[in-house]
Structure 1
Amino acid sequence: MKPWLWDLDTTIAALHSKQISSVELIHEIVSRIDKYDSGLSSYIWVNRDNAELKGREIDEARSKDIPLPPLAGVPICVKDLFDVSGMPSTYGGLHFRNHTPEQTSTAVKRLLQAGAVILGKTNLHEYAYGTTNENPHFGSARNPWNRGKISGGSSGGTSVAITSGLAFAGVGTDTGGSVRIPAALTGHVGLKPTYGLVSKFGVFPLASSLDHVGPMGKTVRDVALLLDVMAGYDPKDEGSVRSAQSSYLPKVIPSDRPLDGIRLGVPRQFFYEKCHVNVLQVVSHALHELERAGASLVEVDVPLIQEVPQNQGIVIASEALDAHRSFIQNMALYGEDVRRRLEGGRAVTGADLVSAYRFQRHFRNALQSVFQQHVDALVTPTTPLTATDIGQFKAHIKAQEVNVRAHLTRYTNPWNLSGLPALSLPCGSAVDGLPVGLQFVGPAFSEQKLLQLAAKAESILPWTAIAPEYR
C-alpha cells in the first residue's frame, strides 16, 4: 500500500472504510516529509503535533460513527501566504519571520470546517512576487522531476509537496500564473477560478485586483473537491462575488469519444508564439488526441492580447508597492529580485495606472466576443518553457533570448487581468523528461463546465502526478 499515490477520492474512501486511520495517514506523510523535504524545500513549517491531535479527534469521531464532513482526516498543505490562527505566517519574507496571526483566512477556514487536516505551510516565492520559487530566506523549492530545476512559483512549495507525495492536495494563490505555472512545471492540476469566486480574506496581497485563490491537486476531481468547499461569497472580501453554482464536481461517462461536440478555441497568435519546441511538440500531440476524442479545434484571435503584458505589469507593480507600503522602509530585508521589483513600482505614475485599469476593462469586454464564437473553452500551453535550472535567468527559443522569470507568465497572466477561470492539466513529458501543462480557459463563472471538460481531457491524457523518484 502506497497511500501517497492516492487521489482525494481514494483517500476519502480509505478513511471512511477504516482501511487506514487519519493518524496513520498523517504519520505516513510526515515521515516522508522528514525523509525527503530537506532536498526539496517544499515546507516552511510542519504542523506535526497539532495535525496528529486533529487526526485523533477525527478517528475517535469516526469510530463512534459520528457523521463527518467531506474531507475529514485528509492531510493537505497550505501556501504560507494564508493566515491560519496559531500557525506561523511568514509570507515567504523576513519582515514576518516571527508572525503568528490570530485569525484564519476564509478559504482555509472552510477547508478546516470540511475536516481537512493542515500538515503545514508551504514554501513560496518571497511575498508571492516571482515565478520561480527561488526563495533566498527559505531555500528554492526544487522540482521533484529534477531537483536542479525550478518548481515554478509563486505557489511552488505546494506543487512540490503534491508531486513528491508530501501532501494529498493543497491551496495556492495566483496573481499572474502562480498556481498554474508550478502545476505545469511539476506535473499536476491547478485551477485559477473566476476572480472573486474564492475569498481572499486573510491572504497577504500581492496585487489585489489580480489575486486569486486556487485549489491544487493530483487530478481534476481533486481540485473540484477543494473548490466545492472553498467557493462562496464572503462579506470580508470586497472583491467577493456570489455564484449560483452549488457543486463543481465533474462527471465523466466512459466513451471512445468523450469530447464529441466540444469546440476548443486555439489562439495561435501570441499563445503559440515564442514557445519552446519541447513544449510545442507535447502540446501538439495533446491537441491531436483531443481531436481524436471528438473535439473540434477552431482557430481564434484574442483581441488586444499584445498589449496585455505591459498593462498587467503596470497593475502588479503599482498594487504590490501599495501592499508593501507600511514596511517597505526595511528594504534590506527583501531578497534582491523582489526588492528590485518593488523599487520598479515607484516608476509607475498615476496616469499609467488609470490607463492600465481602463485597458483591463476593455480587455474583459473584448473577450466576450471570443466565446460568442461558440467555443466552449480556449486551449493553450500553460507555459512556453519546461522547468529551467535553478539560478538560470535566460533561455533561448528559436535563437531568441528570453528572460525566464518574465517569460513564464506569458500565457497565464492574461487570465488574471481578465479574471477568467483557467486550469492547467498535465499533458505529457517533453524530450527533457519534464512535465508540460495544457491550459484551458473558460468564460466567467464557467468552472463547472471547465472542470467537466478538463476531466474528459484527463481521461485521454493519462498522467501520474507523483514524480518517479517519489512513487
Structure 2
Amino acid sequence: MSEPATKESGTRTGRAAPAGARSRYESVQMSLERAEEAAYLGGFITLDHDAAAKTPDGPGPLSGMTVAIKDNIHVAGLPNTVGTPALRDFVPVSDAPAVRRLRDAGAVVLGKANMHELALGITSNNQAFGPVRNPSDPSRFAGGSSGGVAALVAAGVVRAGLGTDTGGSVRVPAAVTGTCGLRPTVGRYPGEGVTPLSGTRDTIGPMARRVADLVLLDGVLSGDDTPVAARPPRSIRLGVPTGHFTEPLEDEVAVRWEASLRALAAAGVDLVPVDVTSFTEGEFETGMAIVLYEARVELSAYLAKYRPQTDLAALAALIAGPDVRGVFEGCILDGAPGLISEDVYRACLARRRRMRAAYADTFAAHGLDGLAFPTTPATALDLATCDQGMVLCGETADTFATFIRNTGPASVIGAPGLSIPMGVATNGLPTGLEIDARVGADRDLLALGLTLEGICGHPLATAGP
C-alpha cells in the first residue's frame, strides 16, 4: 500500500522482518516515522508506508540505506506525477534502471519526492502538491527542481536520494539546504524511465549529507568501482573564476565564499585565477534553446509511450503553476510564439561543442583539477515572493536565471559538478560550494569533494540517521 504523503496513514503493515534484517527493518520504520513528523516540509508527494516490509534481507553496499526518489524517476507501483495534475494517476509498472540498481545494492525506497512542476523551475513552490520548505527555515524555498529530495535529506528523513539535473536541479537545492549533490557527466548513469526535458542535458544525480555517501551511490549507479580517497590539500589545484561565477554575489554568500577561499589557501590548496569567458558567454541562451527544443520532442515521445491518452496540449491544459504554463504556451506548444526552429537548435548544438572544447582547453592550460565557486549567488528566498523575482545587490533579477547562473555552464557542457556545504551565512541559511571537473572525471571530482568537505565545514555532519 502506498498513499499520498498528505493523507492520514491509517494502520501500518506489521509483517515481521527476518532476524538478520531486524535492525535494517527498524531503521526504515524510524525513517517512516520521521517522514510523518516532517510532513510540514512537503518533501514527499507519495510515501510508501510498506517500505519497511520491503527491506532487503541480504548484504549490499547500500544495505538499509533509505532513499527518496524524485517524482520524475519511475518507481514500480508508485505514482510518477512529475509534480503536475495530468500525470497524477500514472503508475509505472517497472523501476527505472537507476532505481533498480539502488534496490539491488540494498537501498530502501521510502517514497517519491516533491519537485518543481515538470522539472521546469528552481523553487519547488509546487502549486499542485504544495511547496517544498527548507528545513533551515520553513518560510524559505528548498531549491529545485529536486527540492523534495534535498529537504528530506537535510531533515534526516532519508539518508540519500535521487534527483535529476538539467540546469542545476540537483546542485541548487543541495546548496540552499546545506547538503551534497552530484551532477555526473551526462550519460554516466542509465537515463531510461525518467520523464525527460533534454537528452543533451538531463541526468540523474545522487544527493546525500556527506560526500562519502555520494561515492557509494555513484559506484552503484555507474558500475565504476575505481577507489576514491581524499587527496592531500597540497596536491590540489583549483581554478577560481573571475567574472561570471563570482559577480555579483549576495553579501551573505560573498562572506562565506571569501572565508572558504582563505580556508582552502591555508590548507595548502593551490588557487589559480581563471578567465572563464570562453565557455560562459552566451551559455544561458544556448542552453535554454536546447532544452526548449528537446522538451517538445522528448516529452511528446514519452507521453506517447507511457500515457498515449495525454498529448502535450492535454498535459499543458492542467498545469498548475503559472510559470510552467507560461513556458509551454510561450515556447513548447504548437503555434507558440517562442518555438525554437531546427536551424537555431543546430546552431546551439554547434556552439555547445565549442564551449566543451574551450572548457577542456581551460583545464589543460592551467593544469586544473577543478573549478571552485559558489553554487548559487544567493541563499534561499522567501516562498511567498520567490516566483515574482528577487533583488541581488540592489538590482531586480529573475529568480530562475539568477539561481542557475553558476550551475548552468557545466550543465550545457555535460561536465560533472559537485555541490558541498560552504557553511551557514549570517542570515542563518546554508550556502554551497561547487566544484566542476573535466568531462568523465567523476571519481576524481568526488575525491576532491572528500577533501574540500573537511576544509569548508559541514553543518549537517551529525544530523539524521
Say whether 1:295 aligns with 2:281: no
**CA–CA distance in structure 1, aligned partners of residues 324 and 99 of structure 2:** 26
Structure 1 residue aligned with 2:24: 22
Letter aligned with residue 382 of structure 1:
T
* Conserved? CA contact 2:279–2:359, under 8 Å: no
Partner of 1:377: 370
Matched, 1:435 2:430: yes
Q: Deviations over 1:309-347 (max 9, x none)?
A: 111111112222223335221232012111111223241
CA contact (8 A) 2:210 2:461 kept: no
CA distance in 1, matches of 2:92, 2:390: 40
| Alignment deviations for residues 4-60 of structure 1 (CA, whole Å, 9 cap, x no partner) | xxxxxxxxxxxxx989711111111111111221x10000111111x12122x52xx
2:292 partner letter: A
Question: Could you tell me how far apart the structure 2 residues matched to 1:159 and 1:210 are?
Answer: 20
Work out the CA distance in 2 between the residues paired with 1:140 and 1:417. Answer: 28
C-alpha displacement at 1:463, in angstroms?
Answer: 1.3
- Residue 394 of structure 1: how far off its partner (Å): 2.2
1:36 aligns with 2:38: yes
> Is the 8 Å Cα contact of residues 424 and 459 (structure 2) preserved in structure 1?
no
> Would you say 1:352 and 2:344 are equivalent positions?
yes
Q: Displacement, 1:276?
A: 1.2
Among 250, 254, 257, which residue is 1:280 paired with?
254
| Rounded Cα–Cα distance in structure 1 between residues aligned with 2:156 and 2:414 | 31
Q: How many Å separate the matches in 2 of 1:78 and 1:312? A: 26
CA deviations 1:196-215 (Å, max 9, x no partner) are 00111111101111101111
- Partners of 2:427 and 2:203 in 1: CA distance: 31
Judging changes above 3 Å, is the alpha-carbon distance between structure 1 residues 220 and 466 closer, same or farther for their aligned structure 2 residues? closer
Could you list the structure 1 runs, at least 4 aligned residues long, displaced by more than 6 angstroms after superposition.
Answer: 17-20
Q: Distance in 2 between matches of 1:132 and 1:286?
A: 26
Give the alignment partner of residue 251 of structure 1, picking from 229, 232, 236. 229
Q: Distance in 2 between matches of 1:466 and 1:402?
A: 33
User: CA separation in 2, counterparts of 1:430 and 1:270?
Assistant: 21
Q: CA-atom RMSD, angstroms?
A: 2.0
State the partner residue of 2:240: 266
Question: Cα distance 1:451–1:204, how it changes in 2: closer, same or farther (>3 A)?
Answer: same
Match in the other structure for 1:328 = 312
SS in 1 for 2:181: strand
Taking the aligned partners of 2:356 and 2:420, their CA distance within structure 1 comes to 24
Q: Report the secondary structure of 2:190's partner residue.
A: coil
One-letter amino acid of the counterpart of residue 351, structure 1: D
Residues 239-293 of structure 1, C-alpha deviation per residue, up to 9 Å, x if partnerless?
xxxxxx433x53237xxxx310311101112110122121111011011101111
Give 1:13's aligned residue.
none
Instruction: State whether structure 2 residue 121 is matched by structure 1 residue 130.
Output: yes
Partner of 1:140: 131
Q: Residues 203-282 of structure 1: matches in 2 within 5 Å?
A: 203-232=194-223, 245-247=224-226, 250-252=228-230, 258-282=232-256
**1:11 is matched with which residue?**
none
Aligned counterpart for 1:111 among listed residues 80, 102, 115: 102
Does the CA contact (< 8 Å) of 1:163 and 1:466 recur in 2? Answer: no
Report what 1:200 is aligned to.
191
Distance in structure 2 (CA, Å) of the matches to 1:125 and 1:76: 19
> How far apart, in 1, do the equivalents of 2:346 and 2:249 lie?
31
Aligned counterparts of 1:209 and 1:199: Cα–Cα separation in 2: 14
Distance 2:266 2:440 in 1: 28
1:238 is aligned to none
Are 1:187 and 2:173 an aligned pair? Answer: no
Q: Distance in 2 between matches of 1:423 and 1:220?
A: 9
The residue type paired with residue 318 of structure 2 is L
Residues 275, 397 of structure 1: 8 Å contact kept? yes
Distance across 2 between alignment mates of 1:366 and 1:89: 38
What amino acid is aligned across from residue 407 of structure 2 in structure 1? T
1:414 alignment counterpart: 409
Structure-1 residue corresponding to 2:7: none
CA contact (8 A) 2:290 2:349 kept: yes
Deviation for aligned residue 1:75: 1.4
Q: Which runs of 5+ in 1 are unaligned?
A: 1-16, 62-67, 233-244
Q: Tell me by how many angstroms 1:398 deviates.
A: 2.3
434, 439, 447: which one aligns with 1:444: 439
**Preserved contact between residue 164 and residue 466 of structure 1 (Cα < 8 Å):** no
Aligned residue for 2:85, secondary structure, equals: coil
Residue 314 of structure 1 is matched in structure 2 by 289
8 A Cα contact 1:442 1:450, kept in partner: yes
- Alpha-carbon contact 2:279-2:356 (below 8 Å) kept: no
Matched AA of 1:349: S
Q: Which deviates more from structure 2 when the two are superposed, residues 112-121 or residues 390-399?
A: 390-399
**1:47-86 correspondence to structure 2 within 5 Å:** 47-49=48-50, 51-55=51-55, 58=57, 68-86=59-77
Q: Which amino acid aligns with 2:37?
A: K
Letter in 2 for 1:362: R
Structure 2 counterpart of 1:284, one-letter code: E
Q: Secondary structure at the match of 2:356?
A: helix
1:467 CA drift (Å): 10
Aligned ranges 1:151-166 → 2 under 5 Å: 151-166=142-157
Distance 1:119 1:395 in 2: 34
Is the Cα–Cα contact under 8 Å of residues 164 and 467 in structure 1 kept in the other structure?
no
CA–CA separation in structure 2 for the residues paired with 1:423 and 1:205: 22
Where structure 2 has 5 or more consecutive residues not aligned to the other structure, the ranges are 1-18, 304-310
Q: Which letter maps to 2:325?
A: R
